[in-house]
A = this chain, B = another copy of it.
Amino acid sequence: MGANPSASLTPSIASDHPGVAELFAVLAYGEISAFYRLAEEAQLSPSMKGKLALAKMAAAEMNHFETLETALSDRGIDVFDAMAPFVRALDAYHDSTNPSTWLESMVKAYVGDGIAADFYREIAGALEPEVADIVRDVLAETDHSEFVVDEVRNAVAASRQDKDRLMLWGRRLLGEAITQAQFVLAQREELTELVITATGDLNNIIALFDRMQESHAERMAVLGLI
C-alpha cells in the first residue's frame, strides 16, 4: 500500500506539551547550524551571485532562529540550554554530509533542508494553530532557492558525470537525515512522545515517511536529478 500524499495530521497536541519546547529547540539549533554551513559553503561559489544567494539563505535562517528564540523565551526557556541536547546529532549530520563541491552544497541546501522541513511540517499538522504557525513560519522556503534550482539544473543537463554523482549525493543526504533524526528521537523522550502522539499510530508513521520519500523524489526531479 503506497502513501496517501493528501493525508495529513489533525491537531491533537496541546501547546503546553513539553515536547513543543524541544521541537522549537531542535529547530533553533538547526537554523544556527544551517547558518554557519551556508555562510562557509558560500566560499565555494565560483560567482558573486552564488555567494550572495547562499548568504541570503543563511541570513533567512538566522531570522528564523530569532523567531524561535522569542517563542522559547515567551515560555520562560533559555534557548541555549534548550538547544544543548541537539548539538551533537545535528553537528554529526553536517559533518557526515560535508559538501566537497559547489554543486554538492547547492543540492544539500535544497534537498537536505527540504527533508527536514517536510518532517517538521508534518508534525506541525498535529499542533495547535499558534504553535503550528511558528513552525511553518520558520520552515517557509525563501525565494533564494530558485537560484539553487537553476544552478543545479544547468549543471546536470551539461554533465552526465555531475548528474550521477549528485544523484548518489541526494540519496546519501536522505539516509543521513533519517539516521540523525532517529538519533535525536532516541534521546529526547518528550519530543518522541510528541511525534508519536502527532502521528497517531505505526501506520501513520509509515505513511508519513512514505510521503517524505515522495517529496524527496520530487525535489530531486526539480533539480533535474531523475
Contact = CB atoms under 8 A, between A and B. Distances in A.
Contacts of A32: 51-52, 55
Interface in A12-59: 32, 35-36, 39-40, 42-43, 48-49, 51-52, 55-56, 58-59
Contacts of A183: none
Majority-rule SS of A interface residues: helix
Contacts of A80: 48-49
A192 interface: no
Instruction: Categorize the interface residue count of chain A.
Output: 20 to 34
A66 to B, nearest CB: 7
Given A48-B80, A49-B80, A80-B49, A36 B56 contact: no
Contact of A62 (B36, B40, B59): B59
Given A39-B40, A48-B80, A80-B48, A62 B66 contact: no
B58 A39 contact: yes
Contacts of A51: 32, 36
A10 interface: no
Given A48-B80, A80-B48, A80-B49, A55 B42 contact: no
Interface of A: 32, 35-36, 39-40, 42-43, 48-49, 51-52, 55-56, 58-59, 61-63, 65-66, 80, 83
